[in-house]
């Protein structure tokens, strides 16, 4: 911006000055300085404005996902995303935020009535 100002607001002259002053940098075109000046006048800075989409993880969607998980605790994140029309990544973010875990508990052993007594007998035997 200072080069454009010192060049009398001439983009082509500012380009020549920049390319002479900084020969090791990639060569800039006059359109680069034009866009930079335009952004500075419009937004007050030379960084490009980021066009980030609004987030889908809001309280309403979070409530829907948590309600679905409460009613169907064995459902997968893919099923939840299909039913609620939210991406699977967003569903996983919501579940992680509310401390839900992405696994199903599977019991492979059953405890019976006399297991405690057998355990005590085993411990006494040792």
State pLDDT tens for residues 42-75.
877 777 767 666 567 788 889 999 999 989 888 8
CB 61 within 8 Å of CB 86: yes
The pLDDT tens digits of the residues spanning 83-99 come to 988 889 999 999 999 99
Q: Is 112 helix (H, G, I), strand (E, B) or coil?
A: coil
Model confidence, pTM: 0.45
């Amino acid at each position: 911006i200072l080069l454009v100002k010192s060049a009398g607001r001439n983009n082509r002259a500012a380009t020549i000055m920049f390319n002479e002053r900084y020969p090791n940098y990639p060569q800039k075109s006059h359109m680069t300085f034009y866009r930079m000046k335009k952004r500075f006048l419009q937004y007050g800075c030379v960084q490009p404005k980021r066009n980030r989409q609004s987030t889908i993880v809001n309280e309403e969607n979070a409530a829907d996902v948590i309600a679905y998980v409460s009613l169907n605790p064995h459902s997968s994140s893919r099923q939840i995303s299909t039913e609620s029309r939210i991406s699977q990544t967003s569903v996983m973010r919501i579940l992680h935020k509310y401390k839900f875990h992405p696994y199903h508990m599977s019991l492979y052993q059953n405890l019976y009535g006399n297991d405690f007594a057998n355990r005590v007998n085993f411990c006494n035997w040792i």
